[in-house]
Structure formats: C-alpha cells, structure tokens
Amino acid sequence: MRERLDRFFTGRVILVIGWLWFLVYAFPGYMSYDSVYQLSQARDIDRMNEWHPPLMAFIWSLLDKLVAGPLLMLVVQSVAFLLGLYFVLRHVMTSRAAAVAAVVVLLLPQTIIVMAVIWKDAQMAGFLIASVAALLSDKRRWRIAGCAFLFLATAVRYNAAAATLPILLVLWDYRRTLRPWRRYAIATALWVGITLAAVLLSALLVEERKYPWQTGSLPVDLVGTIRYSPKLSDEEILRDTAGVPWLYKDKLQIRVRRTYSPWNTFLEVTQYPKPIIDYISTDEQRAAITSAFRTLVVAHPLAFVRHRLGVFNTQLSSCAVVWAGFSNAEWGVDLLGHHAHHSRVQLAWVQAMEALSPTDLFRVRLYFWLLVVLLPLCWRDRLGRAMVLSGLLYELGLLVVAPAIDYRYSHWMVVCAIISSILAVTMRIRRPKPKHAGDDSDRDGRRIEQEHVRGAGTDDDLEREVHRHAGIDARLEHAEQTRRAGDRDRTAEQAE
C-alpha cells in the first residue's frame, strides 16, 4: 500500500492537487478597483495609461479573447509562482518534498490573499520566482528565459527593479564560470538593459498620459514635507509653491498638520474627506508642483526624510486587508459584465482569512526583521542570499516610492522571507555531520560536497579537488602498507 501511494503521489501529482485546491479559494480570480480598471483598458473601454502597467493590460487583452474575465490571468500568475518555486526548491530537496513545500507556500494565508487577486503585485511575484528558477539552470535557453521573466516582472511593476537587481547580481552565472568582476559587469549591464527595455515598452503602449507621479505622489510628499518643516508663514509657502492649486490661502501649515497622516494618499489630500490641494490636472499645475517639491525638499531635506520614514514605518506596521470580491462595485459589474458568486467552501475560507487578517501573522514588520536575521545565516548560500537581498531591497525601495499603505506592496518581501526560511532550515538539515578530527580525507570530501551543493566552484576546480583527494588517499594507503611491513619485520625478529 505504501509503495502504491509513493508511486501515485509524485511531485507532479502533488503540484496539480495543490493548484486545484488553490482554485477552490481563488476561482475565477478576484478583482479590485485596480483590476477592474485594467480589464477595462484591456477591452478598450478605457485607454491605457501610466497609472497601471500597460503591458499587463495588453497581456490581459490577448487572454480575454480566449476566456473572458480574470481566469487566465489567475492561471498565469499562480502557475508561474507554483512551478517557479517548485524548481527553486528542487535544488535543495527531493521532488516530492519540493512539491509539498511549494504548495504549502502558495496556500499560506500570507500568500494566497494576494495571489488570488489579479494585481500587478501577484503577477510580479509569479514572474520573479520563475526568473530565479530559470537562472539556476545550467542550460542557456533557460537562463535567457530567466531574463525574459525579469523583464515581465519589471514591466508589470514599476518598482520591481529593486527586486531584480540582487537576483541578477547573485544568480547570474550561478556556477561561477566567469571571473567575479566580469560576472558582476555582465549582470549589471543586463539589469540596466532589462529595466530600460521595460520602461520603453510601457511608454510605447501608453495611449493617454495621466502623469501619476505629479498627480498621485507629489501632492502627498509636498504636504508631508510642509508638515515636518520648521514654522513656515503663508507667504513663504505660497512663494515656494507658486502655481500649486491650494484650496486655502491662509493658515496653510496649521491646516496641513491637522489633516496630515502617513496613511494619506492623493485621494485624502486632493479629494476627501478634507482636501487641501485641488486635483492636479493641467500642464501648468504639474510643472508648478514639480518645481515646488524640489524647492521645499532642497530647503528642508530633513522634513522630507521624516515624512518618508513615517510612511515607511506605517507600511511596516500595516496588516492585510483580504480582498475577495469578484468586482470592486456594482458599476464594475455593469461595466465589464462579469458576474460570479462564492461557493460555500470558498466563502468559509475567505471568512477564515478575514478573521486572521488583523493578527500578527500578516504584520509586515515581522517579515522585514526576519529577513534581517536571515541575511547572515543565508549569506554563504547564493540562492538564499539572492532571495534575502531581493526581498529587503524591494521593501527598502518603498521608503522612497511607496504611493500608499497596503500589505500587497510588501507581498514580495513576505514571500522572500518565507522561502529564505525554508532554504535556511533545509541547508542546515542537509549539512553533513562532523566526523573524527584528523581524518583529512573525510574533511576534504565534506568540503567538496558542500561546494558542489552550493554551486560555489567550477568544474575544473572540482576536478582539481577530487584529484587532491585521491592523492591524499594514496598517501594514506602507502603509509598503511609501510606500517604493515614494519609489523611483519618485527614479528619475524621476535620469532628468531
């Protein structure tokens, strides 16, 4: 019976069963406001713009012609994530164990609440983990595919470049066949090329410019800088922000300090509940707020830093909000004609996630500090080092560019923390047990095995080590033969 089960539950079967169980929670794919807006662009109801990745809308437009709605997008992001993670873990564990671990990670509450929604964050995570798996391959075509996955990840998330840089620097030329300076130079050049190509393609796909930086990010940063600046008079603020459409002309800093919160987005600053700046809509206003931002940041750099640190600290303190709607509102249903309902099992699962969402299980700060702790533990293992650095650098990028506070913005860091923990535990379990001190041949053999597992040496280096190991064995054998000959001589002398 045990043998039959072992033959049936192969790695592939476990992956299929796990993915089907994922669909029980996620089918046919949840959609928020961002998702509905992207699908409307994919169907040419709205024009593609920079608020959301144009390439994602373009891919969706192709898939929507095959199966209308979010299902195929859900398949793309979940399959890329599951298979990519499986092949990554195959480097440190058996096929069945890697399949089980990959399924568990996908179904974890911290992961599934994001991977079930058609978001650019979920798409990026799927493409990034697929790129790691491909770059670990010895075959050239898969390494090229890894670069393609990195390109897709960068194109669907504007700040993904912070996550792709460590992946390329650490995992490019994984077997170390090149000198370090050449390996890093090629990896850096690839990273720059991939990033620029993704930005260029996105710009070419844009049909209508919306200027999200000027309309979305700058009003928040401008207000935040004024909030933490030393006392400023209305005349000083109006002089330095000439052309900015303030809704009030008096007591500006007092009003800003009363309404400011690191949770604020451009909606709170420009629309509700107590807006202080009118929505930026004209070229003159965009130029004015850009100039005002530069002037104030140069004049009060510490105020800007305090504001961004406050936003970053709030992001680390955030917990998850479970999104399990098939559309964002009734108008989204009417606009797209997409109707769906939860099954009983699906609804019970969603309610369980909602009950867990306020707990520390979803606390972003926990996973940030977990990565900090894992950094020295995973440093000697290149795969672990790549995952830890990718998650940390991506999260630190939010210190500069986070437009709002949301758990999904930190999802990649959370995924990296979970995967790095698995790698650290697995490598520790697989570490060979120490043998008798003084056994040089065993010690050399252990070192060769460890270097092979970590991919730390070239084939030539490994061959030289094997030859050296053989030489040690030969010398030990010669010493043993000499000892035995001496024993025979002494025995003969005693007999005489």
pLDDT in tens, the chain (496 residues): 677 777 778 889 999 999 999 999 999 999 988 898 899 999 988 899 998 999 999 999 999 999 988 999 999 999 999 999 999 999 999 999 999 999 999 999 999 999 999 999 999 999 999 999 999 988 889 999 999 999 999 999 989 999 999 999 999 876 667 788 888 899 999 999 999 999 999 999 999 898 989 999 999 999 999 999 999 999 999 999 999 999 999 999 999 999 999 999 888 999 888 899 999 989 999 999 999 999 999 999 999 999 999 999 999 998 888 988 887 766 667 667 777 888 999 999 999 999 998 888 899 999 999 999 999 999 989 999 999 999 999 999 999 888 889 999 999 999 999 999 999 999 888 766 555 544 444 455 455 445 444 444 444 444 444 445 445 555 556 656 666 655 555 554 444 4
Is the CB of residue 409 less than 8 Å from the CB of residue 160? no
Is the CB of residue 337 less than 8 Å from the CB of residue 358? no
User: Which among 129, 120, 127 has a CA at the least distance from the CA of 57?
Assistant: 120
Report angle CA 440, 442, 448 to the nearest 5 degrees: 100
Helices (H) and strands (E) in the chain, counts: 25, 0
Separation between Cα atoms, residue 230 and residue 466, nearest integer Å: 68
CA dihedral for 316, 158, 337, 348, sign (positive or negative): negative
**What three-state secondary structure class fits 435?**
coil
Cα–Cα distances (Å) from 113 to 319, 325, 359, in that order, read: 12, 11, 14
pTM: 0.83
Separation between Cα atoms, residue 399 and residue 263, nearest integer Å: 14
Is the CB of residue 129 less than 8 Å from the CB of residue 81? yes
Separation between Cα atoms, residue 228 and residue 279, nearest integer Å: 22
**What three-state secondary structure class fits 277?**
strand
* End-to-end CA separation in angstroms for the chain: 68
Q: Please state the φ and ψ torsions of residue 108, each to the nearest 5 degrees.
A: -60, 140
At 245, list the tokens.
């459409």
User: Which among 239, 240, 227, 309 has a CA at the least distance from the CA of 269?
Assistant: 227
- Considering all CA atoms of the chain, what is the largest pairwise distance in Å, rounded to the nearest integer? 119
Separation between Cα atoms, residue 227 and residue 270, nearest integer Å: 16
Q: Please state the φ and ψ torsions of residue 117, each to the nearest 5 degrees.
A: -105, 145
User: What share of residues in the chain are helix, strand, coil (percent, to 5)?
Assistant: 75, 0, 25
Residue 157's identity, in one-letter code, is R
